[in-house]
Amino acid sequence: MNDSKLVSVAIDGPAGAGKSTIAKQVAKEKGYIYVDTGAMYRAMALYLIREGIGYNEKERIEEACTRADISIDHVNGEQIVLLNGENVNSLIRTEEVGNMASVSSTNPKVREKLVSLQQKLAEKRSLVMDGRDIGTVVLPNAGVKIYLTASSAIRAKRRYEELLAKGVSCDINEIEKDIIERDKRDMNREISPLKQAKDAILVDSSNLSIEEVKEKILSIINNKEGM
Ligand code: DC
């Protein structure tokens, strides 16, 4: 890699591995923008819900792609997702939107639209982009590719503690069951399934703190940049 060139760091991995927390911090440290591609799939899902479109209405979902304008902006390092010009950041983190995103992201038209937007972003800025298919499909030539994972038990424990801290009572076994099901769906879908790119470096965060994962990924990037 060369300093005068744009740098793309692709971070893929299953839900709950800590991708967004880590990607955000790594981007800040390097002075790159952070792109959360899951938020784009969620904004698209919000549009579908608002339009009253159901999970199985393939044609209506595809038609909706022509009307939903999704873009992102950055304010103080925070990614803002705009749906037809409206900041929808505070509306896309619900279970309902997550479930719709999980289903609608399997639609080829939805993926085509958002992948093209993601690729255009990487042509303009150095960035850290996280998702499921960044190293394999969106940015196959990314200078750095990381596959960040953790065991399902550890991911369930983290989510459980997050919910407890918010005062939400829940069953850790149910959470782990949901995580395993979501992994299965993400890894076995027909288009752009979640998988480690051949040239991605595997980072298992199961026994590492956020700080340790961040340092590990920064050292991978810095080593590549020095090459
Ligand atoms: O990372 P997340 O939970 O915010 O992602 C929401 C959904 O979008 C998730 O079910 C998988 C999907 N997704 C995808 O298919 N490809 C991406 N690059 C990012 C997310």
CA-proximal residue: ligand 1, atom 13 (nearest): 38
84 and 191 assigned to the same domain: no
Q: Which atom of ligand 1 is found nearest the CA of 19?
A: 1
132 and 218 assigned to the same domain: yes
CA-proximal residue: ligand 1, atom 18 (nearest): 131
User: What is the tens place of the pLDDT at every residue in 4-50?
Assistant: 589 999 999 998 899 999 999 999 999 999 999 999 999 999 999 99
The number of distinct structural domains making up the chain is: 2
CA-proximal residue: ligand 1, atom 5 (nearest): 38
Q: At what angle do helices 95-104 and 172-188 cross, to 10 degrees?
A: 20
Rounded to an integer, what distance in angstroms lies between the CA atom of residue 207 and that of residue 189? 29
Mutate to test the pocket of ligand 1, among 8, 19, 35, 37 (most ligand atoms within 8 A of CB): 37
133-138 contact pairs (CB < 8 A, 24+): 133/12, 133/192, 133/193, 133/194, 134/10, 134/11, 134/12, 134/37, 135/10, 135/12, 135/196, 135/197, 135/199, 135/200, 136/12, 136/192, 136/195, 136/197, 137/192, 138/10, 138/37
* Cα–ligand 1 centroid distance for 37 (angstroms): 7
11 and 73 assigned to the same domain: no
- Evaluate if residue 3 carries a pLDDT over 80: no
Of residues 110 and 1, which shows the higher confidence score? 110
Rounded to an integer, what distance in angstroms lies between the CA atom of residue 43 and that of residue 90? 10
* Cα–ligand 1 centroid distance for 187 (angstroms): 12
Q: Which atom of ligand 1 is found nearest the CA of 102?
A: 10
Query: What's the domain range around 88?
Result: 37-125
Which residues on adjacent β-strands are paired with residue 74? 79
* Cα–ligand 1 centroid distance for 45 (angstroms): 11
End-of-domain residue from the set 71, 106, 125: 125
Closest CA to 101 of 37, 148, 35, 149: 37
87 and 177 assigned to the same domain: no
Structure token digits, residue 214? 């961040």
pLDDT of res. 99: 86
* Cα–ligand 1 centroid distance for 100 (angstroms): 10
| Three-state secondary-structure class, residue 32 | coil
110 and 135 assigned to the same domain: no
Q: Using 50, 70 and 90 to split pLDDT, how confident is the model at 227? A: low
DSSP letter, residue 103? H
Burial degree of 215 (CB within 10 A; 0-12, 13-18, 19+): middle
End-of-domain residue from the set 95, 125, 155: 125
137 and 88 assigned to the same domain: no
78 and 186 assigned to the same domain: no
Q: Using 50, 70 and 90 to split pLDDT, how confident is the model at 2? A: very low
179 and 167 assigned to the same domain: yes
Q: Which atom of ligand 1 is found nearest the CA of 105?
A: 15
Residue 221 CB neighbours (<10 A)? 20
CATH, residue 108? 3.40.50.300
Q: Tell me the Ramachandran region of residue 31: left when phi exceeds 0, alpha when psi lies from -120 to 50, beta otherwise.
A: left
Which residues on adjacent β-strands are paired with residue 73? 80
End-of-domain residue from the set 75, 95, 125: 125
pLDDT of res. 19: 94
Structure token digits, residue 46? 């919000």
User: What is the tens place of the pLDDT at every residue in 156-196?
Assistant: 999 899 889 989 888 999 999 989 988 988 899 888 999 99
CA-proximal residue: ligand 1, atom 20 (nearest): 38
The stretch 105-118 carries a mean pLDDT of 96
96 and 116 assigned to the same domain: yes
8 and 62 assigned to the same domain: no
Q: Which atom of ligand 1 is found nearest the CA of 106?
A: 15
Pocket of ligand 1 (CB under 6 A): 15, 37-38, 41-42, 98, 101-102, 105, 131-133, 186
CB of 188 closer than 8 Å to CB of 107: no
130 and 223 assigned to the same domain: yes
138 and 176 assigned to the same domain: yes
